[in-house]
Amino acid sequence: MADRSLLQRREGRAAYLFIAPWIIGFLVFTAGPMVASLWLSFTDYSLVEPAHSVGTANYQQLLADPRVAKSLANTFVYAALFVPLGTVVALALAMLLQRIGRASGFFRTVFYLPVMTPAVAAGAMFLLLLNGQRGLVNQVLGWFGVTGPNWTTDPAWLKPSLALVSLWTVGGSIIIYLAALNNVPRQLHEAALLDGAGPVRRFVSVTLPMISGALFFTIITHTIAAMQMFDQAYTMFYGPQQKSTASDESLVYMVYLFQNAFEFFKMGFASAMAWLLFVIILVITVIQVRVGNRFVYYEGGSTR
Amino acid sequence: MKRSRFVVAVAAVALLSGCAGVGNKGGDSAGGSTPGAAPTGALKIMGFGGEDEVGQSRIAAFKAAYPSVKVTNNKGDFDAQQFLTALASGNPPDLVYMDRNLIGTYAKKGAILPLEDCISGQKVDTSQYREAAMKSVTLAGKVYGIPEFYIVTTNLVDASSLQKAGVAVSDIQTKDWAALKATTAKLFKRNGNKLERIGFDPKLPEYFPLWATANGATIIKDDGAPNLNDPKAVEALAYTLDLVNSQGGWTTFKSFRDAFDIFGEKNPLSAGSVVAFPMENWYVNVLRDFIGQGLKLDSTAFTDHDGKPVSMVGGSAWAIPKGSKNPDAACAWAKTMTDQATWMKAADARIAKVKEDKSFFTGLFTANKPADEAIRTKYLTDVPDPGFKRAIDNFYATLDSAVALNPSPAGAEIDAAWRSAVTRALAGQPAQQALDQAQKEAEAAFSKANGNG
């Protein structure tokens, strides 16, 4: 008896040791800064002068500043474009990959490679590809008689362009979907085949429910990432060359937050913006989980 | 996972600053605290590239004059985030190199220190610097920066395209705006929805202040107050908008422009993509390499309606951040890098490079007036290409009359306000409405910066 509890304690200690790097990292790089930024959001901190408490002035300013609302709206539109598009494209590519058989290892790597390219490099490259006058994308569209838009300069096309560019990095989801697709039991498909189900019916009634867990996970993480879109938007529309010509239509929330923090010396306000975004993402995620649980099939989970 | 990486980064910085930086005491003025003693110790510099011969020769000059100062320079352009986080974490550079139009804002925020001690302690002769440059680093009577380069603007012209279109070089002028519009229409070429050639590019949004100034407006008043919706400024914006709209409209125009390879063999003037535009002086040094590939450059002065050359002044300055650990060495660096003897060494190095490349000298434009004149007399004796010679002469002709926007404690916000107004106007908002809104935003920021908000 005493031996067992000693063993338990020892194992417990070992377990904590193993996860210590994560705990330390979490406390130092996530929890601590979050607490600090919460405090800063109630101050007039400018990064230069000492911070003074200003009560809830920064939060009132969130409501008063029309660009907060504008940048939030831009971010929602972008997320609404990217999340469905990213999910469908990643799933389609994963299904192609699944069928490919022998060379799948090679293609799996190829599809994942873009995730490894720096977002800044990808942003700069897509600016060239999407150029409305001389870009390759419009040239190709031209072969089919389609007059492509000015993707990177027409205010109406800025957010769709950003969503398209973001597709570049769906490699991570492709890998997750591929794993999920490979886990769909073959006998379910065979049973459905015997019952005379066509490919569409099998996809809807067998594949989709069986991979719903993976879909659910990626939709949530994609939504969070989309709400926090920064690097590509910044490179494409706010880089050194673009800075002075950026349209408000491309102003996503994190870019405006960054501008407030480091261009307008309003770190306190930027912290308040960060907390607003945190709350918005939290609310969206809770809704997604509530709604999602009705549709998601958990293997070995309780019956829902 | 990418989740909240940025929020975390922002907050991490904030946390660090909470521990170390907030409340960091800086002196009231920087540099020259030990008059007479030669500076020693480490000197950490931020925002300065200085990789070309003009930079390298001057760095060498400083190191020769102050061998006991250990210089570390993390090369790269000024980055506000990098600088401010370093400052907030209590670990600022000893010296920073930034655009002069940022000086007002950074000074107002207390991020950089006034230089009275530096100037008096190390006997920096500020009268050698051009007045317009000094003005842009002076806020409320105090000097916050030592000016370095001097960037001015004039019209550069692709003479081959102009000749083929049967237009005279003298028609590229900004004295008579109606005539310029007609010339532009003559030179502009399109094929369906694809642009082939811009006739005259007014360079919106960045050159809006130049057009407003040429039209007689002062968009930032002497006391730093914004004056963005001055009728003359509105007129200038409306006119330049019209130039853009008559050449395909903004979205097409900008896409076409975005595809330019500014520094390459297919630069817009060589490739015949733009016939003429106002451009900065450093660009002739780039274009010179393409004479052999058929570039025929010409130039006319960018003038006001009376025919007097007009130019805005740009350029960077050396400033000493709050919390600089070695303001003496920083001051010595700023002084040495910008004095006449050092600039002469830079010119020597440039001449050596030019000779090695079998090319020619296109001038060195510094904020140090005697240095500029000495360099011009000594080295700018032989420009074999007549078009380039006209361009260089035009740049020199603007030096004495070029103006900088007045510094303002709300400089950054005023800048943001007019840029966003011009962008909105380019997207279709009427010029008056756009600038009215900008003026409102800028006024609010200005009154807040002055503590009345």
Domain A58-295 fold = MetI-like fold (1.10.3720)
Q: If you compute the radius of gyration of chain A from its CA atoms, what whole number of angstroms results?
A: 24
Q: State the pLDDT at residue B411.
A: 85
* Contact residues, chain A, for B10 at CB < 8 Å: 33, 37, 257-258, 261, 267, 270-271, 274
- Measured in angstroms, the CA of B211 and the nearest CA of chain A are apart by 16
B107, B108, B124, B127: which is closest to B116 by C-alpha? B124
Same fold, B27-152+313-399 and B153-310+410-449: yes
Q: State the pLDDT at residue B30.
A: 66
Q: pLDDT tier at A3 (50, 70, 90 boundaries)?
A: low
The per-residue pLDDT of chain A, averaged, comes to 90
3 state DSSP class of B148: coil
Q: pLDDT tier at A300 (50, 70, 90 boundaries)?
A: low
Q: Is the peptide bond before B205 cis (omega within 30 degrees of 0)?
A: yes
What percent of chain A clears pLDDT 90, i.e. is strictly above it?
64
- Cβ–Cβ below 8 Å for A245 and B423: yes
ipTM field:
0.83
- Cβ–Cβ below 8 Å for A132 and B251: yes
Q: Is B120 on the interface with A (CB under 8 A)?
A: no
Q: Is A104 on the interface with B (CB under 8 A)?
A: no
Candidate from B5, B12, B205 with C-beta closest to A245: B205
Q: Is B15 on the interface with A (CB under 8 A)?
A: yes
- Cβ–Cβ below 8 Å for A39 and B18: yes
Q: Is A48 on the interface with B (CB under 8 A)?
A: yes
Domain borders along chain A are: 1-40, 58-295
What percent of chain A clears pLDDT 70, i.e. is strictly above it?
95
Given a contact cutoff of 8 angstroms between Cβ atoms, the answer to whether B318 and B95 are in contact is: yes
- Measured in angstroms, the CA of A49 and the nearest CA of chain B are apart by 7
Could you say which residues of chain B have pLDDT below 70? 1-37, 452-453
Structure tokens at A150: 């000015």
- Measured in angstroms, the CA of B14 and the nearest CA of chain A are apart by 7
- Measured in angstroms, the CA of B272 and the nearest CA of chain A are apart by 15
Domain borders along chain B are: 27-152+313-399, 153-310+410-449
Residues B163-169: contacts with CB within 8 Å, 24+ apart?
A: B163/B296, B165/B275, B167/B275, B169/B298, B169/B300
- Measured in angstroms, the CA of B377 and the nearest CA of chain A are apart by 35
Structure tokens at B10: 């922002």
Q: State the pLDDT at residue A301.
A: 58
Amino acid letter for position B49: G
Q: What is the pLDDT of residues B171-205, one digit of tens each?
A: 999 999 999 999 999 999 999 888 999 999 999 99
Q: Is A167 on the interface with B (CB under 8 A)?
A: no
Structure tokens at B154: 């004039």
- Cβ–Cβ below 8 Å for A150 and B195: no
Mutation site for B-interface testing, chosen from A34, A128, A150, A228 by largest number of B Cβ within 10 Å:
A150
Please name the residue of chain A whose CA is at the shortest distance from the CA of residue B252.
Answer: A150
- Cβ–Cβ below 8 Å for B14 and A33: yes
Q: State the pLDDT at residue B34.
A: 52
Q: DSSP E strands: which ranges in B368-452?
A: none
Given a contact cutoff of 8 angstroms between Cβ atoms, the answer to whether B311 and B404 are in contact is: no
Site of tokens 């560019």: A165
Q: State the pLDDT at residue A108.
A: 86
Q: Which among A1-5, A241-245, B367-371 has the top mean pLDDT?
A: B367-371
Q: Is B37 on the interface with A (CB under 8 A)?
A: no
Chain B, window 308-327: residues with a beta carbon less than 8 angstroms from a chain A beta carbon: 322
B343, B421, B439, B406: which is closest to B100 by C-alpha? B406
- Cβ–Cβ below 8 Å for A153 and B193: no
Angle, alpha carbons B24-B27-B30 (nearest 5°): 125
* Contact residues, chain A, for B109 at CB < 8 Å: 46, 48-49, 265
Q: Is A267 on the interface with B (CB under 8 A)?
A: yes
Please name the residue of chain A whose CA is at the shortest distance from the CA of residue B92.
Answer: A48
Q: How far is CA B390 from CA A147, A156, B108, B293, B354, in A?
A: 42, 43, 41, 20, 19
Structure tokens at B400: 């004495």
- Cβ–Cβ below 8 Å for B10 and A271: yes
Structure tokens at B16: 């660090």
- Cβ–Cβ below 8 Å for B18 and A40: yes
* Contact residues, chain A, for B423 at CB < 8 Å: 244-248
* CB count in 10 Å sphere of residue A88: 11
- Measured in angstroms, the CA of A103 and the nearest CA of chain B are apart by 28
Candidate from B15, B251, B424 with C-beta closest to A153: B251
Structure tokens at A87: 């999910």
Q: State the pLDDT at residue B22.
A: 36
Residue of higher predicted confidence among A165 and B31: A165
3 state DSSP class of A187: helix
Chain B, window 140-199: residues with a beta carbon less than 8 angstroms from a chain A beta carbon: 193-195
CATH superfamily of B27-152+313-399: Periplasmic binding protein-like II (3.40.190.10)
Query: Which architecture does CATH list for B153-310+410-449?
Result: 3-Layer(aba) Sandwich (3.40)
Q: Is A37 on the interface with B (CB under 8 A)?
A: yes
Q: What is the pLDDT of residues A22-54, one digit of tens each?
A: 999 999 999 999 999 999 999 999 998 889 999
* Contact residues, chain A, for B1 at CB < 8 Å: 221
Q: What is the pLDDT of residues A92-132, one digit of tens each?
A: 999 999 888 778 788 888 889 998 888 888 888 898 999 99
Q: If you compute the radius of gyration of chain B from its CA atoms, what whole number of angstroms results?
A: 23
